[in-house]
Every structure is written in structure tokens, then in C-alpha cells.
Chain A
Amino acid sequence: MTELTEAKEIRVSQADADFRRHIMKIPGAEKLMLCYQCGTCTADCPVAMRVKEFRPRQIARLAAYGQKDRLLGGDTVWLCAGCYTCYEHCPEQVRISEIVSALRKLALKEGIIHPTYRALMKSIAETGYIYEIDDFQNEMREDEELPPAPDPDMDEVEAIMRKTGFLDLMEGDK
């Protein structure tokens, strides 16, 4: 795996330009090319403060150059906590967090998804909740004088997952 921080020459090909176009077509990521690399996003990021391989400014630059392999290899795009600090602070309203989200969407189309995300999504698709809520939980709830958890209508949840193509996307997972 290539670390994001590793110095590496950037070569731009047509494939890279296409990748950039794909990113910018995703709602929220349209303003990628307004980034002038001021670094506010990285400076204010609670994850970047502690994790050297997560650098929002570098993500924006590599995205502008369409560097798909460097962006989608490793855990980089899965390290954003989605706190929207960069989104709020960016002087150009580039919405870096939305660019990271766009990269996750493109990763999934390539069959790439972090195992933790895969497990959470599988649980939603199969139980309607991110964690299964079974008899044990409902007994504990009863002890606290709480009503049983709502029983998700799984026919409806499954229909949404199928019709929006999400089940197919998850099956394409490597």
C-alpha cells in the first residue's frame, strides 16, 4: 500500500482526468477545483491531528489530479469522522468531507469497502438496524420499563436496498 504521505511523482493521464470528472459529478463534490491548498481543512481536522496518513488537503490535491490508486488504496478515505469541520471552515466552500464521501462512493463502485462499513451495512440490510436488536435487548429494555424496540418492516427495507441497487453494490465487494 502506498502511504498518502509518501513522496511520489504525480503523472496525469486521461484516466486521471476521467476520475476527477467522476468525483465532481457526485453531489457535494462539485467545487473540488476551487481548492487553492490553503490547508485549513488539515489544520482543523481532529483526525489529521493524530493520524499522519489522513491529510484532507492532500486528498483534495490528489483528487484534483485524479490519482485514483493513491486515494482508494489503504484506509485513507475511511478515516474521515464526518464532523464537517473542514466543510464549515473552508474559505472556498470546497466541502472536503463531501469529496471524501464521493471517493467512498466511487470506491464502492470498484468493489472496495472497509470491512467495518461492510458489516454495518450488512446488518442494516438484514435486520433493519446497525446492531441486531433481539430478545436479549428487548428483555433488558423491559427491565428498564421501556417498550420493545420498533420492529422494522424488513420487506420495505429490503425493497429499498434492492431497488436502489445497494445490494448489488455490496455483492460486488472484493
Chain B
Amino acid sequence: MRYAFFVGCTTLARLWGYEASTRRVAEKLGVELVDMPGSSCCGTTYLETLNHLTALTMAARNICIAEEMGLDIITICNGCTEVLTKANKVLKEDPGLRAEVNEVLAETGKRFKGTVKVKHFVRMLKEDIGLDEIKAAVNHLFKGLRVGAHYGCHMLKPSDVMLYDDPEAPTTLDELIDVTGADSVSYPNKLECCTGPIMGIREDVTWAVGLEKVEIVKKYANIMVTACPFCYLTYERCQLMAETSPDVPVVHYPQLLGLALGLEYEKLGLESNKIDASRILDFVEV
């Protein structure tokens, strides 16, 4: 299996552990992630709210790169997932908008054709590899590890665009956690937004929202698992900014899966997580 790998600004710039663990897990599972030369920021959900055509064309340019490579796109940021999926869907379905976007793209020598799909890495794991195959590859099962999963909004919503899983009762991430032997627990307000996108507008709100969820997760689980750089940063930073010492490690999903696949802690970039996550190793059954 080969895919074009769209990493996204936030992960490229500062969450190397997320990117490293994604690449190592993919390699271990026989998935080739090919970098996208010349690609830029997806356009962001921010830009979507400011100018429709600019946002669509920025996204389309990145999609065109994957089209030229002849590969479907894998994303690891929920924001990129939503932006690229929406643009891809709208431009495939609306010939008028496609013509408008292609007119802008003409100057770049690119042309949106609508030949590829966009998928979040966790969706690819479930749909293209499958839970059974992943389970068969797991050789270091977790035992007794309770995990508070946080999906993040844009993996699933808007649901009429994402058309994946159930936005009110999703199962993908829980199932992918459970195949590692860990127990993905239910907890109150599990699907509430991290509010990371307003971190730069009212960070006090984002930290308060983050801490509220961390406090709940603490009662139900040993660690928190995310699948989006913004959600990750919210739950990590709200604890680092708080007066009390941080005590709920936040782990990127591929880091968890990577350990279960027998990959080394350091190779999964877990040492760069700012809240020490080493307690997770106590739960690995060798």
C-alpha cells in the first residue's frame, strides 16, 4: 500500500514524535508513506472562514500534487483532514466551482481532476489494513492500561462532508486502541471539542476546557490518546500551564500502537512528549 503523506504545519513544525511514530508504524505495517514535494499548508479551517475560493484553491493545489503522484492522501491532523476532504468533495461534485478553481490554478500549471481520496491515518488503519490484521501484528499487548480516547471534531464533522463513522457515537479510535490490548474507556463529555482553534483568541478558555476534560479522564483512565496535533497540544499545554503538576500523559495514537507493535519508546518520539509518558511501559506485557 502506498499513499501520499500530508503531514500538516503543526506536526511538521513541532510535533516530531507524532510524525515519527506515524512513519514507523506505517513502515512496520508495510504501508509506504510518500512525501509530497512542494506541498504547503492545507489552507486551514481558519482560511475557510475568511475566503471560500482562496481556501478551496490552496487545498486543491495540495490535492493536485497527490493526483500527479497517483496516490491517495493520508493526513494526521484533523484540521487538514477536514479541509482537504471538503475541498476534494466540493470540487468533485460542483463543476462550476471546479472550473473557477482550475482557472486560478492554471497559472501554477496544475489542474484539479478529482482522482484521489483523502483519509485520516486512523481511518486508513481501520478501512485499508483492518483491525484483524493489526491485531495479528501486535506482539507487545498492553494489559490493564485504561485509555481516554479523544477523537477531535474534524475527524468526523461536519458529518455530511466527512461521511465517516458516527459523529455522535464513533468507534474507530476506540477499536484501534482496544486491539493493542488496552481498554478504551467511556467517560463523560468524551466528544466535547478541545477548543484548540481559539487558543490564539482566548487561551484562557482553551486551557479551562482542556483541564476540565483532563480532570475527567484522570478519574477513568491512565493516559489520554489523541489523533490530532491541535487536540494533543491543548491537553498537554493546559496541564503544563496549570498550577498543579501535570499528571495525565497525552499520547499520539501511533505512539500507542507502535509500542504494541514492538517498536522502541525512543523511536516513537515518546521522549519528546512534554508530559512523561513512561508509565505506559508498566502496562506492556512482553
Residues of A within 8 A of B (CB): 26-27, 46-47, 50-51, 75, 78-85, 87-88, 100-101, 104-105, 108, 113-114, 116-117, 120-121, 124, 128-131, 133, 137, 140-141, 144-147, 149-153, 155-157, 159-161, 163-166, 169
Alpha-carbon separation in the docked complex, A87 to B162 (Å): 13
Give the contacting residue for A27; candidates B19, B23, B52; CB below 8 A.
B52
Give Cα A18 to B47, complex, Å. Answer: 25
**Once the chains bind, are A108 and B51 in contact (CB under 8 Å)?**
yes
Please, which residues of chain B bring their CB within 8 A of the CB of A100? 49
Contacts of A166 in B (CB 8 A): 50-51, 54
| Additional pairs, 11, CB under 8 Å, beyond known A108-B51, A156-B61 | A79-B198, A79-B201, A80-B198, A82-B153, A88-B158, A116-B200, A144-B20, A160-B108, A164-B51, A165-B54, A166-B51
**Closest CB of chain B to A171's CB: distance in Å?**
13
Contact B41 A130 (CB under 8 A): yes
Closest B residue to A170 by beta carbon equals: B50
Q: List 29 A-B contacts (CB under 8 A).
A: A47-B198, A51-B205, A79-B198, A80-B198, A81-B196, A87-B157, A88-B167, A116-B201, A117-B46, A120-B44, A124-B43, A124-B47, A124-B58, A129-B12, A130-B10, A131-B9, A133-B12, A133-B13, A137-B13, A144-B16, A144-B19, A149-B13, A150-B36, A150-B40, A152-B38, A159-B108, A164-B104, A165-B53, A165-B54
Q: Which residue of A lies closest to B6 (CB)?
A: A150
Do residues A128 and B197 form an inter-chain contact, with CB atoms below 8 A? no
Q: How far is the CA of A83 from the CA of B156 in the complex (A)?
A: 10
CA distance A78 to B200 in the complex (A): 10
In the complex, the chain A residue whose C-beta lies closest to that of B64 is A156
Q: Are B41 and A124 in contact (CB under 8 A)?
A: yes
Residues of A within 8 A of B57 (CB): 160, 164
Which of chain A's residues have a CB closer than 8 A to the CB of B137?
Answer: none
Contact A82 B197, beta carbon cutoff 8 Å: yes
CB-defined interface of B218-253 with A at 8 Å, one 1/0 digit per residue? Answer: 000000000000000000000000000000000000
Is B48 in contact with chain A by the CB < 8 A criterion? yes
Please give, as numbers and ranges, the residues of chain B lying within 8 Å of A47 by CB-CB distance. Answer: 195, 198, 205
How far is B17's CA from A90's CA once the two chains are assembled, in angstroms? Answer: 38
Chain A residue nearest in CB terms to B17: A144
Q: How many residues of B contact A (CB 8 A)?
A: 59
Main secondary structure of the interface of B (DSSP, over half): helix
The chain A residue sitting closest to B52, CB to CB, is A27
> Of A81, A108, A146, A161, which one neighbours B198 at CB under 8 angstroms?
A81
Q: How far is the CA of A88 from the CA of B162 in the complex (A)?
A: 12
* Interchain CB contact under 8 A, B41 and A105: no
- Which of A121, A128, A141, A153 has the largest count of B CB atoms less than 10 A from its CB? A153
Interface string of B7-27 (1 = CB under 8 A from A): 101101110110110010000
Known: A79-B198, A100-B49, A133-B12. A160 touches B61 (CB 8 A): yes
Indicate if the CB atoms of A83 and B195 lie closer than 8 Å.
yes
With both beta carbons as reference points, the residue of chain A lying nearest to B198 in the complex is identified as A81
**A160:B54 contact, CB within 8 angstroms:** yes
What CA separation (Å) do A120 and B43 show in the bound complex?
10
The docked-state distance in angstroms from the alpha carbon of A155 to that of B108 is: 8
B159 adjacent to chain A (CB < 8 Å): yes
In the A-B complex, list the 8 residue pairs whose CB atoms are closest, starting with the nearest. A152-B40, A83-B193, A128-B40, A116-B200, A84-B157, A101-B49, A156-B108, A164-B54
Is B53 in contact with A81, judged by CB distance below 8 angstroms?
no
Q: Using Cβ atoms and an 8 Å threshold, which residues of chain B touch A113?
A: 50
Please indicate the chain A residues that have their CB under 8 angstroms from the CB of B262 in the complex: none
Shortest Cβ distance from B154 into chain A, in angstroms? 8
